Structure 1
């Protein structure tokens, strides 16, 4: 069966019909005759050798083969849209950088890392996408993202061709509203027994290290909240509802932004930061600028 050289016009019509659930509505949307749409759908099915749509009640719905084809069609046309945007930006003398940001990564760290991209000679258009780590890796593998910034590494495999680049690390400080930090700052860390603590959820790379650190110091705080989103955690901390860990390198920013102060230093506890790329050697100029800046800026000596 020959499946190469698929007619993308036919594929686009199939995508519209699947979205509309009807050849008639798809024809109205596209401003074409019903017969034209039907004929081109038939041509596509003959070319791939599979039935792609079936009648279900009053709607046309994708078959199992149709769902597979629709998944690829969505990726194809999304990449086409990105290509057009990139070409338009190239005409305007700008470089597009699409970054996935893990929801567990401190936003101040993400900002510090990305800020260096704007110091390049070529203007950069930055597009940031924030979601769960696994979803970002899937988008990176499909080339929807140029790079993922996160707090964990990932091993490349036969099914997942991605590479981890260590950007740096920082020891951690425990912060809290002034009254709360003062109360639990004396005789630190033993003073954390029963202290209200705001922690990342257990699927966060840092959480396991925090739990080990607490065990090593034989303290049992009162965990009053667990959060997947770091921004939500710091919002609760700002109102004095609990103490929270943040990188020592961000001390000045954390104090200024959230109105908190350090209660103590967890010097043995460290958080690491990574750039994940789909290539072993990063080639995007803006991502290279970010990596170079970490050597002399945020994580420099």
Structure 2
């Protein structure tokens, strides 16, 4: 392609950040047709579509996501440069870019990343959520420092990266007070026929749960299969069914979602991995995440 027109890149970046041409045009004080026309020219220069429509909403294509990640980096550095030239040093915050597999419990993700934010030096966190395989494909291309996942990188993967086991823990079954009163007595045999909200079949946790149900002769009533772990908890807090989550965050989860634990499933263990492009860890924030996970969170 020809040399990038950074003005067009700037328009594209703002359209993504503002979630549409209308809000971007208001922010930039430009007419909507002007921005739309410049985006069309930029797509021609890139040689590929950057957006597709999902109803009335603009969504990024694969090429669009790659361009946006680079644009975010470019304009972040531009702000730092402007501050430095204006005599307002940015403090040279340590940049940490983390990819999070969407199957991971959000509360656990925070617990994993939190030590990096407690370092003496300032850390600027950039966090992206996506399918684990997509994140691993882009780990080198987008400068991701580590990917947090519930499954290791397999030997057959095309990605040249390295697994670092953070640890593992059993899972606990949770539900609203009403459901807990019904299904806690006689746990785990009481779970036979109980309403459950389960992760989708493409997750390591679902495969482990299915094996446990079969081994115990338990047939749950599957109310819903939900890919997003936070959405499972939201449905669970509304009383739609029982659900499981890592035992290490049980106290916080009960408080945040107003649910109760019914019991632990000791033989179903969720394992968590940090996947990096380099075998030897040099980034201090990444090192802090691994050390805290191994020595504190999953000890």
TM-score by length of 1: 0.74
Contact kept, 8 Å, 1:170 with 1:249, in 2: the verdict is: yes
Partner of 1:206: 205
| Corresponding position: 1:189 with 2:188 | yes
Query: Are residues 254 and 61 of structure 1, via their aligned partners in 2, closer, same or farther at CA, if it must alter by over 3 Å?
Result: closer
CA contact (8 A) 2:171 2:265 kept: yes
The answer for unaligned runs of 5 or more in structure 2 is: 13-39, 50-62
- Please tell me whether Structure 1 or Structure 2 has the larger radius of gyration of its CA atoms: 1
Q: What is the distance in 2 between the residues matched to 1:215 and 1:12?
A: 57
User: Which shows bigger deviation, 126-135 or 203-212?
Assistant: 126-135
The answer for the alignment partner of 1:162 in structure 2 is 161
Deviation for aligned residue 1:258:
1.0
Q: Provide the rounded CA distance (Å) in 2 between the counterparts of 1:120 and 1:191.
A: 46
1:11 and 2:3 are equivalent in the alignment:
yes
Distance in 2, Cα, partners of 1:60 & 1:294? 44
Unmatched 5+ residue regions in structure 1? 1-5, 21-57
Q: CA contact under 8 A between 1:86 and 1:95: conserved in structure 2?
A: no
* Residue 270 of structure 1: aligned partner: 269
Shift of 1:156: 5.0
Label 1:60 to 1:220 Cα distance change in 2 as closer, same or farther (>3 A).
Answer: closer
Cα shift at 1:159: 3.1
The SS at the match of 2:153 is coil
Cα distance in 2 for partners of 1:106, 1:238 equals 15
Q: Distance in 1 between matches of 2:232 and 2:201?
A: 14
Distance 1:117 1:13, change over 3 A: closer
Distance apart, 1:16 and its partner CA: 5.1
Q: Which runs of 4+ in 1 moved over 2 A?
A: 13-17, 58-63, 65-68, 71-91, 155-159
For residue 121 of structure 1, report the CA deviation from its aligned partner. 1.2
Contact 2:173–2:242 at 8 Å: present in 1 too?
yes
- CA separation in 2, counterparts of 1:200 and 1:238? 16
Q: Do the aligned residues in 2 keep the contact of 1:104 with 1:204 (CA within 8 Å)?
A: yes
Cα distance, 1:62–1:257 mapped onto 2, change above 3 Å: same
SS in 2 for 1:11: coil
How far, CA to CA, are the matches of 1:124 and 1:67 in structure 2? Answer: 35
Tell me, in whole angstroms, the C-alpha distance in 2 between the residues paired with 1:289 and 1:258.
Answer: 29
Distance verdict in 2 for CA 1:59–1:256, change over 3 Å: closer
Structure-2 change in CA distance of 1:271 and 1:85 (3 Å): farther
State the secondary structure of the residue aligned to 1:256: helix
Q: 1:173, 1:247 within 8 Å by CA — same for their partners in 2?
A: yes
User: Retained in 2: the 8 A contact 1:174–1:264?
Assistant: yes
- The alpha-carbon distance between structure 1 residues 279 and 171, as it changes in their structure 2 partners (threshold 3 A), is same
Deviation at 1:82, TM superposition (A): 5.8
In structure 2, how many angstroms separate the alpha carbons of the residues matched to 1:132 and 1:270?
Answer: 21
Aligned equivalents of 1:141, 1:214: Cα separation in 2: 39
> In the aligned structure 2, how far is the partner of 1:122 from the partner of 1:59?
42
Corresponding residue number in structure 1 for 2:239: 240
Who is 2:60 aligned against? Answer: none
Compute the RMSD of aligned alpha carbons.
3.2
Deviation at 1:166, TM superposition (A): 0.6
CA distance in structure 1 between the partners assigned to 2:43 and 2:253 by the alignment: 51
2:179 maps to: 180
Match of 1:286 in 2: 285
CA distance in 1, matches of 2:228, 2:179: 22
State how far apart, in whole Å, the 2-side matches of 1:282 and 1:83 are: 24
Equivalent residues, number = 252
